[in-house]
Amino acid sequence: MVNIPTLLWMTPLEIGGARLGLSLTAPFGQVEVKGLVGPFRRLDRVFSFADPSVGAFLGGRSGQFHWQVGATAFLPIGDYRAGALANISKN
């Protein structure tokens, strides 16, 4: 099971009538992999932090229509073990 908490912060800064928002996502959790590698049974389990992401977005509204546009950057700095069967991170 992987948990994916995200923090959102709406700044007081306005750009073109829209408010600037920032986000941080920091996934963590446990993954278990069981399988056969050739004739051998393998089991690998990991509990760790995965690769976080940061984002910025502009959000506004026009009447009852709410809109948002933004960009997110993936940071490959999570826990990764080369050669392991179970990894949460992708780096």
Q: What is the pLDDT of residues 25-82, one digit of tens each?
A: 999 999 899 988 889 999 999 999 999 999 999 999 989 999 999 999 999 998 888 8
Is 49 part of any domain?
Answer: yes
Is 41 part of any domain?
Answer: yes
Tell me which residue range forms the domain holding 56: 2-74
Q: What is the pLDDT of residues 72-87, one digit of tens each?
A: 999 999 888 888 888 8
Is 81 part of any domain?
Answer: no
Is 37 part of any domain?
Answer: yes
Share of the chain above pLDDT 90, in %: 69
pLDDT, residue 1, reads 83
Locate 53 and state its tokens: 């992401």
Number of Cβ within a 10 Å radius of residue 1: 7
Is 88 part of any domain?
Answer: no
Indicate the number of domains in the chain.
1
Is 86 part of any domain?
Answer: no
Is 79 part of any domain?
Answer: no
Q: By the 8 A CB rule, do 47 and 56 touch?
A: no
